[in-house]
Amino acid sequence: MQKAASDSGGTMAEIQLRKVNKRWGSFVGVDNFDLTIADQEFLVLLGPSGCGKTTTMRMIAGLEDATDGEIIIDGKVVNDLDPKDRDVAMVFQSYGLYPNMNVYENIRFPLKVRKVPEAEHDERVRRASAMVELDDFLHRKPAELSGGQRQRVALARAIVREPNVFLMDEPLSNLDAKLRVSTRAQIKNLSHELKVTTVYVTHDQIEAMTLADRVVVMKQGKVQQVGTPTDIYDHPANTFVASFIGSPAMNLMEGELRAGTFTGDNVSISGLTGPDGPVTLGFRAEDAALATDGAGQITAPIYTIELLGDATMLTVRAGRQLVSVKAHKEFRAAIGDMVSFTVPVPICHLFDQQSGMRIDQQPGMRVAAT
């Protein structure tokens, strides 16, 4: 075990979760989670609170027992192993620093309990603290540090051991917006440098998009979609993923598809392929374009207009639904004015109205089954 801990370069830290379930009585926390996380992959578990993403991570860490299913790290079933024997390092949402120790001792603690030779301690602590730019704070107590510094101590404590797997449980959610951006960049850079398999839990879709090699979107314990950030953004598997990813969320309009023509309130788009019947049509705000001559597929009165700086966000009322469209930053109009815009067929997504599942139009797309 010690050998593996001090020498992660040689080990393959592939994590396999085989039909993992977590139930508390009749409540299902995680439902049939089945996934292989490749060595050195940065995987983000994304979902609203209570979707089971943190529980999944805690099961990998060994802080929570899986009700059934197998968790395999580096080819070894770890279900019955203690957290300390799984060679994982974890960064907690509220840091979990030891308040009685100074920064140096906090970072050194894993080396001390794991009985790494004393002679290596100083060098490794200093290397880890340099990576997160904490050199000047080594003799402070956690209480004397700002939130961002504390989270960096937690990061340093995780990397000092050079573990096989990093687990990060919403590490940025206690930081203010500006610090979040810079720490996010730091985490991205660290993971690139350390090349360690990382599982990262967040409810923030921007963090997921920026950090991940692959994203797992979860809802109520069920995996909704697994894919690269581009996959998830461009080809959402269902209406939940479509509305969760992206800012603003994807526009979803209910209507009828008949002979390739979608008709809804104030909408008519033709040239689509799909079975006839009630469907939900989705498109992203930035993919629609304003039609100057009033000949677009959607023509509706403006509900509100927001200046974003780099663009102008229009929201129009199309029947019962509000639809957002990104316009040029110079665009100005009054609330209530009629506007018209075009929605190109290739960027339209069709979803089944009952199940919310994607109705696949383009061939060769990877969509995870639920």
Partner 1 sequence: MSTSKAMQQSFALRFSSGAFLAFWCLLAAFPIFWIAIMSFKSPVDAFAASPWDVITGPATRANGDGLSILDIVLGLCVLYFAVRWAFTRLPELVRHYCPPGIIALGWIFGALIYAIGFVLIFFGLLPLILGPLNGLLGPLGTPVLGLTTEHYVAVWAENEFYRNFLNSMLVTAGVVTVSLTVGTLAGYGLARSGSDLAFWLLILALIFRALPHSVLVAGYLPVFINSSEILAPIFGEGAPTLYGQPWAVIAVLVAINQPFTIWMLRSFFQNIPAELDEAARVDGCSHFQAFRRVIMPVMWPGVITTGLFSFLLGYNDFLVTSLLLDAQNQTMVPAIAGYFNRETTTTDQVEAVAAAVSITAPLFLLVMIFQRQIVSGLTAGAVKG
How many CA atoms lie within 13 Å of 274's alpha carbon, on the beta-carbon side? 27
CA gap 86, 59 in Å, rounded: 11
Q: Would you count residue 249 as binding partner 1 (CB under 8 A)? A: no
Tell me whether residue 92 or residue 303 sits nearer to partner 1 (CB atom).
Answer: 92
Q: Does 148 bind partner 1 (CB under 8 A)?
A: no
Furthest CA-CA distance within the chain:
76
96 binds partner 1 (CB under 8 A): yes
The least CB distance from residue 62 to partner 1, in Å, is: 8
DSSP secondary structure, 32-97, as one string: EEEEEEPTT-EEEEE-STTSSHHHHHHHHHTSS--SEEEEEETTEE-TTS-GGGTTEEEEBTTB--
Kindly state whether residue 88 participates in binding partner 1, applying the rule CB under 8 A. yes
Token pair of 219 as six digits: 């809802």
Q: Does 109 bind partner 1 (CB under 8 A)?
A: yes
Select the residue interacting with partner 1 from 9, 10, 99, 309 (CB under 8 A). Answer: 99
Can you tell me which of 97, 145, 187, 250 binds partner 1, judged by CB under 8 A? 97
**Candidate residues 6, 39, 72, 92; the one interacting with partner 1 per rule CB under 8 A:** 92
Nearer to partner 1, 110 or 227 (CB): 110
**163-202: which residues touch partner 1 (CB under 8 A)?**
167
Q: Which stretch binds partner 1 (CB under 8 A): 60-68, 132-140, 214-222, 256-264?
A: 60-68
Closest listed residue to residue 194, CA positions, set 159, 245, 239, 227: 159
CB of 326 to partner 1, least distance (A): 41
Q: Count the Cβ atoms, other than its own, within 10 Å of residue 38.
A: 14
Q: Which residue in the set 6, 21, 38, 83 belongs to the binding site for partner 1 (CB under 8 A)?
A: 83
Contact between 98 and partner 1 per CB under 8 A: yes
Of the candidates 23, 114, 188, 317, which one interacts with partner 1 according to CB under 8 A? Answer: 114
Which position among 28, 63, 194, 272 is part of the footprint of partner 1 (CB under 8 A)? 63
Residue found by looking up tokens 């019955």 in the block: 80
214 is written with which tokens?
């692959």
Please tell me whether residue 145 binds partner 1 under the rule CB under 8 A. no
- Under the criterion CB under 8 A, does residue 102 sit at the interface with partner 1? no
SS (H, E, C) 230-256: HHHHHCCCEHHHHHHCCCCCCEEEEEE
Single out the residue of 36, 48, 70, 84 in contact with partner 1 (rule: CB under 8 A).
Answer: 84
Binding region for partner 1 (CB under 8 A) out of 38-46, 76-84, 211-219, 331-339 = 76-84
Least distance to partner 1, CB of residue 110, Å = 4
Question: What span, in angstroms and rounded, lies between the C-alpha atoms of 140 and 51?
Answer: 37
Q: Both tokens of residue 34?
A: 């089945």
Beta strands in the chain (DSSP E): 15-24, 27-37, 42-46, 68-73, 76-77, 88-91, 165-169, 197-202, 214-219, 222-227, 251-258, 261-264, 267-270, 277-283, 289-290, 298-307, 312-318, 321-327, 338-342, 349-352
Q: With respect to partner 1, which residue has the nearer C-beta, 99 or 364?
A: 99
Tokens 């140096």: give the residue.
Answer: 104
- For residue 215, state whether it binds partner 1 (rule: CB under 8 A): no
Q: Does residue 103 bind partner 1 (CB under 8 A)? A: no
CB nearer to partner 1: give 74 or 231.
74
Q: Which residues lie near partner 1 (CB under 8 A)?
A: 61-63, 82-84, 88-90, 92-100, 109-110, 113-114, 157, 161, 167
